[in-house]
Chain A
Amino acid sequence: MNYHWNWGIFFQQVSSSDDTYLDWIITGLGWTVAVAMSAWVIALVLGSIMGTLRTVQSKPLVMVGTVWVELFRNVPILVQLFIWFFVVPELLPRDLSLWVKQDMPGKEFFTATLALGLFTSARVAEQVRAGIQSLSRGQRYAGLALGFTEAQTYRYVILPMAFRFIIPPLTSEFMNAFKNSAVAFAIGVMDLTFISRQMVEESGQVIESLLAATVLYVICAMAANRVMSFIEKRSHVPGFILAK
């Protein structure tokens, strides 16, 4: 193995640009965090709604939740990304379609965020459903017996418990959101993966380039883990075993 190490590469300028490679990496980190965090917000909102729908009394609503989950769970994230990027604009009305294809600012970022958000929402929905179903049915009956409507029972009795129980699996989904955001490079979002590939090509320093991106991904996932475990401790339900 003959490999020329050059850790100073990060402070060198990229040819034909004023940026150093370190600037590139920081830009990449910014896009990765932006895509992953915004997608997580979408996933949490839609996933909670769809997961809840799968547990309600109304059959059609259950169906909506089920179709949603199966649809977004059984197609690879990369394929979903391409569908949103290349196919969906074709299905829009003509003027809107032209605007999306030609003028829409931040098209890549919004598409990646939407695709990752919907993909993750199916997984969040499954966790929410599992959380709701893990509660004893007495809780639901208690709510209804107090004269709450079904919606109120969910709002005041079921969901506050269910959400606190599913924080551990949600933690891994949050970490997965960071890892899965790596596919965004495929439609041209300048995230860590995109930048590290670009840096390999420009500088030829394979190991340094990939290592920088890898370490930052790991740090992101760890940070996500810490945030969630802080929330987990703060929202712990008294009387239940607290996982370490």
Chain B
Amino acid sequence: MFSNFDFGVIPLSLPFIWQGLLYSLKLTATAMTGGIILGTLLALARLSGGVVLGTISTFYVNTLRSIPLLMVILWFFFLIPIFTGSPMGAEKSAMITFTLFEAAFYAEIMRAGIQSVSRGQINAGYAIGMTYWQTMGHVILPQAFRNMLPVLLTQTIILFQDTSLVYAIGAKDLLKAAEITGKNYNRPVEMYIFSAVVYFAICFSLSMLVKHLNKRIAIIR
């Protein structure tokens, strides 16, 4: 079945693939960090009770969640040059896109997390004289974050898989690197299989970690 396959191409292409994987990981890490920070702010805005802030945040989250990520990637890639006047590289454009897009998803997770902390905790914070930001920063958010850790991680696994979509604008991630080396060595089939294996190995081990975390958190509670 694999008789006419030549997997000897894989060691040859490793350095290039590694560069691609590094970009995928960097994109994931950037979008995760930025997305969680921005998402938390969006969640706080939505829960603040303020009409203007709440409406803006709800609109932002709902809009981005109902559009395919691929379209969002294209939007940013084509729109940024129109606004700034000069083209931005696909790699950089993807960083911005993913951060802003993932923020919408992390926001919903953080909102659920904040709502999972009992109301009395906020009152307790105020009662001992803390300001809003102190209450959030020292009392509510640490608990919300911890409760939602497995869900945040699961979202990050999805985010890592979604980084492969930068293919559409030609950024050199793991998949693109595999495709390029596959073409160069004329072994595209082997390289596609290899990229699938790498994605699987990373996502599967992360999902095992989530399972483990879920158990630990369940015991502590």
Is chain B a partner of chain A in the same complex? Answer: yes
* Closest chain B residue, CB of each to CB of A179: B68
**Of residues 192 to 227 in A, which have CB atoms within 8 Å of B's CB atoms?**
193, 196-197, 200, 206-207, 210, 213-214, 217-218, 221-222
Partner of A193, one of B74, B193, B199, B207: B74
* Closest chain B residue, CB of each to CB of A184: B70
**Of residues 176 to 221 in B, which have CB atoms within 8 Å of A's CB atoms?**
179, 188-189, 192-193, 195-196, 199-200, 203-204, 207
Q: A91-B1, A217-B68, A218-B67 are in contact. Are A78 and B192 (CB under 8 A)?
A: no
Beta-carbon contact of A70 and B204 below 8 Å: yes
Q: Which of A82, A91, A183 has the most CB of B within 10 A?
A: A82
Asked if A180 is at the interface (CB within 8 A of a chain B CB), the reply is: yes
Asked if B83 is at the interface (CB within 8 A of a chain A CB), the reply is: yes
Asked if A106 is at the interface (CB within 8 A of a chain B CB), the reply is: no
Partner of B164, one of A79, A90, A175, A221: A79
- Range of interface residues on B (Cβ < 8 Å): 35 or more
Q: Which chain B positions have C-beta within 8 A of A178? A: 68
Beta-carbon contact of A180 and B203 below 8 Å: no
Q: Which chain A positions have C-beta within 8 A of B51? A: none
**Of residues 4 to 40 in B, which have CB atoms within 8 Å of A's CB atoms?**
5
Task: Compute the total of residue contacts between A and B using a CB distance below 8 Å.
Answer: 103
Q: A82-B192, A206-B79, A210-B74 are in contact. Are A182 and B167 (CB under 8 A)?
A: no
* A7 CA / B192 CA spacing, docked (Å): 41
Asked if A77 is at the interface (CB within 8 A of a chain B CB), the reply is: yes
Beta-carbon contact of B175 and A78 below 8 Å: yes
Partner of A79, one of B74, B78, B199: B199
Beta-carbon contact of A74 and B75 below 8 Å: no
Q: A83-B193, A193-B70, A218-B67 are in contact. Are A200 and B199 (CB under 8 A)?
A: no
Asked if A1 is at the interface (CB within 8 A of a chain B CB), the reply is: yes
Beta-carbon contact of B175 and A74 below 8 Å: no
Q: How far is the CB of B35 from chain A (nearest CB, A)?
A: 18
Q: How far is the CB of B208 from chain A (nearest CB, A)?
A: 10
Q: A206-B82, A210-B74, A218-B66 are in contact. Are A74 and B203 (CB under 8 A)?
A: yes
- Interface residues of chain B, those whose CB is within 8 Å of chain A, are 1-2, 5, 66-71, 74-75, 78-79, 82-83, 157, 161-162, 164-165, 167-168, 175, 179, 188-189, 192-193, 195-196, 199-200, 203-204, 207
- Interface residues of chain A, those whose CB is within 8 Å of chain B, are 1, 3, 70-71, 73-80, 82-83, 86-87, 90-91, 175, 178-183, 185-186, 193, 196-197, 200, 206-207, 210, 213-214, 217-218, 221-222
